[in-house]
Structure 1
């Protein structure tokens, strides 16, 4: 099973640990693309601060993120699972998993990123600010920059098992499973059952809890149909729509009664 997660806009400080070793990150086929984004981002943020803030879509209150990006090559790094914060990651709460569940998280979780493309939760990265929606002056839109290298690397990372896609639309644009990989991919929406509407906060929280439940239970569903059964056994109310034709994935709706 491979679980695709969005990052968080907010990130914890990496502190004063050893700096990034970009060559040590998982999915080494993405290294050249990572170096290109990192190089342009650092150059942008080390220059005109106002231009950098505009390109990155940062408010006045986030002006300090520009200087942080400029210092990325020498900044301290920590495991990505400790860097990413926010609603989904608070609910997932990797730090409190038992040892076996942490090992499963290291194998199965893949966090997408405008800067790194995708990283494992054990990959050591610095705190940064660069969303997938950014359009850098030279490289252009980051989702487009990542499509070709992702298409080369991700099918191998997916192996022959289930792909559980919990990414937001901006990050899903960087890699869309195709062919037989798509057929074993399940995307998930979380709906408020009485209204059938998606609400951002509890959507993220429920996805975090759901991944935690799968990791804690040691569940390893091989395909979307098995995932539906596992989630129901874990107490989730799931409606599933199987693909109507070849090369398409499954769409799952997880229904939640209370907004929390």
Structure 2
């Protein structure tokens, strides 16, 4: 089982490790593309319209651009600490076996393409849906390199990425994307709605529970059985595992 995660928009800034060593990153096939995106990002952050180009909120733009411009010499921290937010809060990595989690999780990134949790990188800000001159839309730019680097995983892929990151690589083997719905009874009829904030929390919790239990489902139906056995309400709908929350 391989779990695919998006990064978080917010990131920890308490980096205290040595500067970036691209040769030390996992998935070394991505390094040429990583170098090109890093160069393009540093150049973009010197532009007058950099905040607009990168889609940065006004209150966060100055700090984010300064970090991006200093990426090459900035201190690093492991991806397991870098990514924050509700999904990662519920993933609760400090409670999991580090080696097991690192072997099972790949985090997708607009700057690095994809990372393992043990990879040391500096805090940055670059979303996958950005069109970064001169490379263009990052999801399309990364796609060929990710196909080469990730190949065909030897088991079931559990895809918890958001749409822009899912666009960068489609697993060629068996894969299930996790969706989250809230179910309410309206006039005696069950009605389901898509949730956003709770979807992130639920995906993080399910990833945590699967890793903590040490299960390794090889098919979508085995995944459904494992998730249900861990106390979640879910059902299979084609290539989706739909997790149902109720009031």
Report the TM-score, using the length of structure 2 for normalisation: 0.94
**Aligned partner of residue 26 in structure 2, secondary structure:** coil
More strand by share: 2
* Residue 153 (str. 1) matches residue 149 (str. 2): yes
Q: Distance in 1 between matches of 2:7 and 2:59?
A: 21
Matches within 5 A, 1:233-248: 233-242=229-238
Whole-angstrom distance in 2 between the partners of 1:233 and 1:161 = 20
1:58 aligns with 2:56: yes
Matched, 1:30 2:30: yes
| Equivalent residues of 2:8, 2:85 under 8 A apart | yes
Q: How far 1:95 moved relative to its partner?
A: 1.4
Equivalent residue of 1:39, what SS?
A: helix
Tell me how far apart the structure 2 counterparts of residues 238 and 129 of structure 1 sit (CA, whole Å).
Answer: 34
Matched, 1:173 2:167: yes
Structure 2 residue runs of 5 or longer lacking an equivalent are 185-190
Q: Which runs of 5+ in 1 are unaligned?
A: 243-249
What does residue 41 of structure 1 align with? 41
Alignment match of 2:156 (pick from 148, 162, 169): 162
Residue 172 of structure 1 and its aligned partner are, at CA, apart by 0.4
Shift in Å, 1:227: 0.6
TM-score, normalized by length of structure 1? Answer: 0.89
Q: Give the helix-richer structure, 1 or 2.
A: 1
Taking the TM superposition and a 5 Å limit, the aligned residue runs for 1:1-260 are: 1-45=1-45, 47-48=46-47, 50-62=48-60, 63-97=62-96, 101-156=97-152, 158=153, 160-178=154-172, 181=173, 184-194=174-184, 195-242=191-238, 250-258=239-247
**Structure 2 counterpart SS, 1:230:** helix
Asked if the contact 1:104/1:215 (under 8 Å) is kept, the reply is yes
Is the Cα contact below 8 Å between 2:68 and 2:124 reproduced in 1?
A: yes
Using the alignment, how far apart are the partners of 1:84 and 1:239 within structure 2? 29
Q: CA deviation at 1:199?
A: 1.2
Q: Is the 8 A contact 2:16 2:77 kept in 1?
A: no
Let me know the Cα RMSD of the aligned residues: 1.2
- Asked whether the 8 Å contact 1:8–1:86 carries over to 2, the reply is yes
